[in-house]
Structure 1
């Protein structure tokens, strides 16, 4: 009888602590969901900090003479985007389902993937307001908890008030 009472007391205490643990998690889940519901989605996404779609103007007469040879080298191209960076125009060929190839629109030569410095300059160029100090830039090959896009990707960590992390595709240069 004593063993049965002891087991019942242990089970009751265990049940109480497990319920408290689960209850706290549920309350935190509801609170964070309510916060995300009441905050503007642009702020949740960080769009108040970085203009992900900041269009750099193309030169008035971009040289597209190499585009035909680039398309011949990549016959499975599904679409082409003309973009500009540092005053130079380039073409972004969307090859297959998930591959992007940057080519020089004048020569048709495939451009190398972006380095850390270029990825950092892209992020700072799209930053709204006073430019923050860059804490770190690194090429990620495994998915971090706050990014669910294509890999590899450049992660640029900024030393702003919100510890912003921006992600730049090394193939396309898009944020």
Structure 2
């Protein structure tokens, strides 16, 4: 029976593990550095939108909530808010959300493109020049967690600032920009989920993580083995 040369086996194992994991370790370092360097509030795009102005409602001139519920019995939530300064009831049901004119009680149709532009310009903090607007029925990768349809409004700027607005209620769904897109790509590389970019416990990540652990263990063993050992004295 041939004796196993363990130092040689461990050295080769360490070499191939380092080759397999080394590139990913570098990517973990670079993507992690980016994600901790850029402030998360900036990534979220908080600087792109302004907080809505708070003004009181003249309730005696508005339709009351029970009347709205009586007209729409399937409503799960009724909320008073403003659309371009006008009071509206936002009604949410199992079929989706819609608006009701708070002064007349009439159900409002979905917003036109012109009205969506007005909403977007009102809440956007930068250059109000719109370079493109599309009503999307399929969610792009950067909006995969949201349910379409929604308007995609892109403004002028190096960062490609983009607002996503509901066509039914005119509410801001989300905002995106190039630094967010870089962050999303870095997150995909970091967690090694190249499809949905959400699974932080996927098989590929587990394999890479345990490979890195075994690489470290084999490297530590080789380090200890490399130290000179005293030869035993012969009797």
Q: TM-score, normalised by structure 1?
A: 0.74
- Larger Cα-atom Rg: 2
Aligned to 1:145: 141
In the TM superposition, residue 66 of structure 1 has moved relative to its aligned partner by 6.4
CA–CA separation in structure 2 for the residues paired with 1:137 and 1:102: 22
Aligned to 1:116: 113
1:50-99 deviation line (CA, Å, top 9, x unaligned): 13x52453544463226544322321222221111233211001213x61
Q: Does 1:167 align with 2:184?
A: no
Unaligned runs of 5+ in 2: 1-15, 173-235
Q: Which runs of 4+ in 1 moved over 6 A?
A: none
Aligned to 1:134: 130
More helix per residue: 2
Larger displacement relative to structure 2 (23-32 or 139-148): 23-32
Which structure has the higher relative contact order (CA within 8 Å, separation 6+)? 2
CA–CA separation in structure 2 for the residues paired with 1:26 and 1:132: 42
1:28-67 deviation line (CA, Å, top 9, x unaligned): 454233312232211001111213x524535444632265
Unaligned runs of 5+ in 1: 1-15
Aligned residues: 154
Cα pair 1:133 1:158 within 8 Å, conserved: yes
SS in 1 for 2:76: strand
SS in 2 for 1:34: helix
SS in 2 for 1:155: strand
Aligned to 2:80: 82
SS in 2 for 1:110: coil
Q: Does 1:31 align with 2:30?
A: yes
Q: TM-score, normalised by structure 2?
A: 0.57
Cα pair 2:116 2:167 within 8 Å, conserved: yes
Larger displacement relative to structure 2 (55-64 or 114-123): 55-64
SS in 1 for 2:108: coil
Larger displacement relative to structure 2 (67-76 or 77-86): 67-76
In the TM superposition, residue 120 of structure 1 has moved relative to its aligned partner by 1.9
SS in 1 for 2:88: strand
1:2-51 deviation line (CA, Å, top 9, x unaligned): xxxxxxxxxxxxxx9xx68x865664454233312232211001111213
SS in 2 for 1:149: coil
SS in 2 for 1:154: strand
Cα pair 2:97 2:169 within 8 Å, conserved: yes
